[in-house]
DNA sequence: CCATGGTCCTGACAGC
DNA sequence: TGCTGTCAGGACCATG
């Protein structure tokens, strides 16, 4: 379930196992992801040491001396550490890429194949200048994201605040689940035009986004071990949703049945009493 | 047929 | 007439 918290939990989960490790080879079984996995990856990266893993929005940036592997998990992607190259489980139909290190394997699985594995050579400049990254909004957990930024980013926008959050041009990492959850925490109706949010409500929403994402990362943190092994469980945060996927169930604050609507072809959940 | 975690891309349109 | 930005909708795909 890769929204920003899941990507960050993945990063933290796999980094200790592979950062500083030497890549023995790359196996690409099925290159047809959102964009083709570039041919010749193995030739470029074989023998290289993984310097570290960073995250920008929902993208994972795996740094090597020759350049960066850019990994996006799409809707259904996972990256898991499998213990030993000698005893790696047989790859399933959706296990598209293996990064084979000397002491473990990092396996990319993505049933729907909406994700991506790309390469950005160092000669092409800094990874943050990559076309997919260069115009992303600010990081929600950085100092750059606050009420002022949200206020500025929403002026003149007629789209709903829910959709404005999802687009990722103001702030990155807020997906369909956490958009609904954040708006509930801020007590804001998801249908409100983004440009009509008052300055105080922007402050409140920015804070709500930070809290929602931070809490989800925290919960995911308790399942870090699940990123090692063949079958990981999902995190525990889903047990704490206020509104997401709770259509008709009582609001945890006021008891009013949670309502479900469709915005931009995606479901939105909210409490019609608490969120005005 | 319905839904499901993401987001790029295109085309229409508005305003300067 | 461009150019820029905004917005809606389609596209990609497997699975229950």
**Confidence check: pLDDT of A228 > 70:** no
Band (A229; pLDDT cuts 50, 70, 90): very low
A261 CA vs C14 C1’ separation (Å) = 25
- Map residue A218 onto helix, strand or coil: helix
Instruction: Please give the pLDDT value at position A232.
Output: 44
Structure token digits, residue A233 = 């469980």
Q: Dump pLDDT digits (tens) for A117-152.
A: 999 999 999 999 999 999 999 999 999 999 999 999
Please give the Cα distance from A151 to A148 (Å, whole number): 5
A72 is in an annotated binding site: no
Catalytic residue flag (residue A3): yes
DSSP line for A131-200: TTTTT--B-TTSTT-SHHHHHHHHTT--SBHHHHHHH-SSBSS--HHHHHHHHHHTT--TTSBGGG--HH
- CATH level 3 topology of A147-270: Helicase, Ruva Protein; domain 3 (1.10.8)
The pLDDT of A81-97, averaged and rounded, is 91
- Map residue A214 onto helix, strand or coil: helix
- Map residue A119 onto helix, strand or coil: strand
* Catalytic option among A58, A80, A149, A185: A58
The pLDDT of A152-181, averaged and rounded, is 97
Instruction: Please give the pLDDT value at position A211.
Output: 97
Domain A4-129 architecture: Alpha-Beta Barrel (3.20)
Q: Is the CB of A262 under 7 A from strand C?
A: no
Please give the Cα distance from A62 to A257 (Å, whole number): 44
Catalytic residue flag (residue A266): yes
Q: Dump pLDDT digits (tens) for A200-223.
A: 999 999 999 999 999 999 888 554
Band (A155; pLDDT cuts 50, 70, 90): very high
Task: Please state, rounded to an integer, the average pLDDT across all residues of chain A.
Answer: 93
Instruction: Please give the pLDDT value at position A220.
Output: 82
Domain ranges of chain A: 4-129, 147-270
Q: Dump pLDDT digits (tens) for A239-270.
A: 789 999 999 999 999 999 999 999 999 999 99
The pLDDT of A143-171, averaged and rounded, is 97
Nearest-CA neighbor of A231 among A121, A81, A98?
Answer: A81
Catalytic residue flag (residue A58): yes
What is the percent of chain A where pLDDT is above 90? 89
| Topology match between the domains A4-129 and A147-270 | no
């Amino acid at each position: 379930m890769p929204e920003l918290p899941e990507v960050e939990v993945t990063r933290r989960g796999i980094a200790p196992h592979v950062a500083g490790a030497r890549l023995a080879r790359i196996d690409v079984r099925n290159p047809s992801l959102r964009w083709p996995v570039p041919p010749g990856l193995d030739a470029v990266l074989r023998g290289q040491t993984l310097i570290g893993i960073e995250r920008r929005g929902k993208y994972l940036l795996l740094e090597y001396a020759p350049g960066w592997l850019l990994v996006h998990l799409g809707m259904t992607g996972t990256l898991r550490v499998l213990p030993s190259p000698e005893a790696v489980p047989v790859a399933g139909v959706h296990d598209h890429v293996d990064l084979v290190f000397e002491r473990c394997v990092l396996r990319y699985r993505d049933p729907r194949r909406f994700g991506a594995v790309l390469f950005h050579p160092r000669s092409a400049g800094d990874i943050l200048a990559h076309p997919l990254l260069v115009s992303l909004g600010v990081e929600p957990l950085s100092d750059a994201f606050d009420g002022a930024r949200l206020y500025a980013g929403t002026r003149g926008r007629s789209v709903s605040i829910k959709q404005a959050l999802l687009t990722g041009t103001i702030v990155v990492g807020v997906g369909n689940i956490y958009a609904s959850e954040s708006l509930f925490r801020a007590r804001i109706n998801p249908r409100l035009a983004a440009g009509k949010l008052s300055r105080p409500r922007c402050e409140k929403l920015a804070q709500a986004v930070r809290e929602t994402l931070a809490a989800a990362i925290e919960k995911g943190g308790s399942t870090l071990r699940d990123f090692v092994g063949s079958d990981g469980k999902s995190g525990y945060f889903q047990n704490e949703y206020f509104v997401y996927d709770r259509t008709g169930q009582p609001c945890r604050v006021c008891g009013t049945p949670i309502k479900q609507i469709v915005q931009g072809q995606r479901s939105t959940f909210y409490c019609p009493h608490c969120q005005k």
